[in-house]
């Protein structure tokens, strides 16, 4: 069945690929981007792919921008917009931490609340949070991003139960590590504030935290998975891809029960 799907953070990465992929499958796609200058680029890429996208600018932390959501009717809302920054929790600037939470948690929740009200009025709909493997896999210098996704997972779990009486479905999609540039930007962000003479965390350890960039997967694999899952009427509450990432998440949770200090 053809759906009308709104997806945030479609200016780049998995969001952009998924928006175009869903439109290729015949769905009507309403794609939001953070910046005005991303609108033309996304429309052009859609046209090159042979599809038309409804694109508008929505910085999810901007109340005026969020009002634009209320002009649209849609069947599925995909909360995809996010940023990734890291560093030692006790030394990373608090302004950066607050910005991460404003986007990944509060801005996301603001848009989800608008979608939830829309779906309650319709008595049907589906909300999908794009989370991450990091939701269950916090580690040194990546803990703040992980904590934001852990919050999203908890919100989604509760919201799923709250929305059941209104016939509204809620789920998360948790990608593994894919080479969209998202993770690379997170590693690069460390160096905009780090000062080896001022901060105590060793430069070598901070540099080593970026080694995972050498093991990123082809993002098209995840895009294809998201395109297949998002329109479905029924699927798992937490969709993790690939399967070895799901297994890593399960092992990490078990390890937490066994670790001593």
The pLDDT tens digits along the chain (261 residues) read 999 999 999 999 999 999 999 999 999 999 999 999 999 999 999 999 999 999 999 999 999 999 999 999 999 999 999 999 889 999 999 999 999 999 999 999 999 999 999 999 999 999 999 999 999 999 999 999 999 999 999 999 999 999 999 999 999 999 999 988 887 887 777 788 888 889 999 988 888 877 767 789 999 999 999 999 999 999 999 999 999 999 999 999 999 999 999
What phi, psi does 8 have (nearest 5°)? -90, 165
CATH number, domain of 207, equals 3.40.50.720
Dist CA 128 CA 77 (whole Å): 6
State in Å, rounded, how far the first CA of the chain is from the last one: 52
Dist CA 141 CA 199 (whole Å): 14
Sole residue written with tokens 């848009």: 111
CA triple 28-33-37, angle to 5 deg: 120
What phi, psi does 54 have (nearest 5°)? -85, 115
Dist CA 72 CA 4 (whole Å): 10
**What total number of domains does the chain contain?**
1
Q: What is the pLDDT of residue 76?
A: 98
Dist CA 179 CA 127 (whole Å): 25
What are the residues whose beta carbons fall under 8 Å from the beta carbon of 112, sequence distance 6 or more? 77, 79, 127, 129, 155, 159
Expressed as residue numbers, the domain containing 224 is 4-258
Q: What is the pLDDT of residue 70?
A: 97
Do 229 and 237 touch, CB atoms closer than 8 A?
no
Q: Is 38 helix (H, G, I), strand (E, B) or coil?
A: helix
């Amino acid at each position: 069945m053809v759906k009308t799907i709104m997806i945030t953070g479609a200016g780049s990465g998995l969001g952009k690929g998924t928006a175009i992929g869903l439109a290729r499958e015949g769905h009507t796609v309403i794609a939001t981007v953070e910046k005005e200058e991303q609108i033309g680029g996304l429309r052009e890429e859609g046209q090159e792919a042979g599809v038309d996208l409804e694109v508008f600018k929505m910085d999810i932390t901007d109340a005026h921008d969020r009002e634009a959501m209320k002009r649209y009717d849609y069947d599925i809302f995909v909360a995809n917009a996010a940023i990734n920054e890291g560093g030692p929790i006790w030394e990373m600037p608090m302004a950066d931490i607050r910005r991460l939470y404003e986007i990944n948690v509060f801005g996301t929740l603001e848009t989800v609340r608008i979608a939830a009200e829309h779906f309650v009025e319709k008595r049907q709909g589906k909300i999908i949070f794009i989370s991450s493997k990091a939701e269950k896999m916090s580690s040194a210098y990546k803990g703040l991003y992980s904590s934001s996704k852990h919050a999203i997972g908890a919100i989604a779990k509760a919201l799923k139960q709250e929305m059941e009486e209104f016939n509204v479905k809620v789920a998360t999609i948790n990608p593994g590590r894919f080479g969209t540039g998202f993770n690379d930007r997170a590693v690069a962000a460390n160096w905009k504030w780090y000062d080896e003479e001022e901060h105590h965390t060793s430069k070598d350890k901070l540099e080593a935290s970026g080694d995972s960039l050498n093991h990123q997967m082809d993002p098209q694999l995840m895009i294809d998975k998201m395109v297949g899952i998002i329109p479905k009427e029924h699927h798992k509450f937490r969709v993790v891809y690939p399967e070895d990432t799901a297994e890593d998440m399960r092992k990490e949770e078990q390890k937490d029960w066994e670790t001593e200090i």
